[in-house]
Structure 1
Amino acid sequence: MSEPLAIPSKKHQVTEEEWQLRVDLAAAYRLIAHYDWDDLVFTHISVRIPGPEHHFLINPYGMMFDEITASSLVRIDQDGNKINPDDFDVNPAGFTIHSAVHAVREDVSCVMHTHTTAGVAISTQKEGLLPLSQQSLFPLSNLAYHDYEGVALREDEKARLQADLGENNFMILRNHGLLTTGSSVAEAFLGMYILQTACEIQLQATASGQPLVHIPDEILSTIQAQAKQATKGMGGKLAWPGLLRKLDRIDPGFRD
């Protein structure tokens, strides 16, 4: 029987601000596992640590998402180098995508990337995400696409990914998966929840074989203002405290 990983607490080794980011990011990894969006150990969420160093937190390579804790997250620089040599290693392919976004988007704190079945399925469809549901309208108002270039290891792909993303906060990586960004972990998670749900709805709707009703373009143009009204301007911060309470009930180890 495998023993649980013994990871010393970093709570008193980092600033309060960094510790809160660690708790939120660990929570996001646990939530990804809870909703079955993980792909063993092969997807990633990163968060920027405020400060002039341009450091980030990302998952230790090889740990399942339901094992990740605030203390196990790895602090790295813009080039993916570990700041603490005693930390776990990180996935170089994972941070290639994340570093490309963080390098050009100062407004982005968190980058989330998944390989869900529904997300990859929609990424293979020529027309991509369609305006079939209310959920689809939020990403469609702010959505980019990036063509598949193989496993994301090459430095020269970064410039093309950056150009494709532009100022958008949602991206479908063709033949690969989904990506969301946000000013906080909460914002990026809510974006991923909505984008993932829209993909699932589209797959079920198109599989029915029935004629589909597309939402008119004029409604799409008003959806961002409606979203702010519906969330009282709080965006992802409206749902995040409840999600943390859910985790505290079912999976509180993320705070360690």
Structure 2
Amino acid sequence: MAICQCCKNSFTKNQSTRTCSMCAATVHETCGQLADAGAGSPAQFKCLKCTSSTNAPKPLTTEHFQAIMAEFSSLKITVNACEGKITACDAKIETLNQHIASQAVSIANCLRQVVDDKAEVQKILTEIGLQNISPKLTFRFGKANTGPRPLKVIFSSSSDAMEVLKAKSRLTSPQYKSVTMKSDLTPRQVQHLSTLRKELQKRTDEDDIILISTEPTENNASEFCQASIQIVLQQLKLSETLTISREQMQSTIENKAQQKFVDIS
């Protein structure tokens, strides 16, 4: 059942109802009054809520809508300014996707090349009788598609690498006639090793180092003992020389320190 929006009572058949011209609510005729709308205009019926100053709806203004339209225009300008950047980003993303797709093919080719190189190295090792040695890692120097490139092979230990270098002369198959093998030592490393070999040979020639290649037996026991005694004597002599050198160095340092102390004072 409909009720009056002012007094909240229901309508009866004997009561007259009117519609408020302000809020369009249906109320009792006694719950409203006619209001003067101005010269030349018919009177308007207003409910008690609309006639009171506190409950009357505020007149509509365009200030709020103007603020919204100004903000919308600002957003539209910002969007238009960003469209160029968004288009440039889309173009860069497309270029990157194409680059990634092309690189994926290159990476797949490189992986396949690594597998093929490792298998070929294993064939060469089998050819020279070192099938029990397997390469740990293989990779090529330089850029792809630039002609022949050196292949570096890494083994599990340096002894395996030395065994391969020693056996490279056995690679006599015609299909491997253009294959050469060498150590990957740098020139400075090669020079350092050469210096160490010369020093070892020099010390061996001067009897600083005595190499005993035989095992002691009843027949050579005396010779073995003499060689051992000589080694011990050489070690004692070397130790004595080092002790004297340390004492001389310590004395020199103390003299210099004392001299500096005297100069300062």
Query: Structure 1 length as normaliser, TM-score?
Result: 0.22
**Which structure has the greater CA radius of gyration?**
2
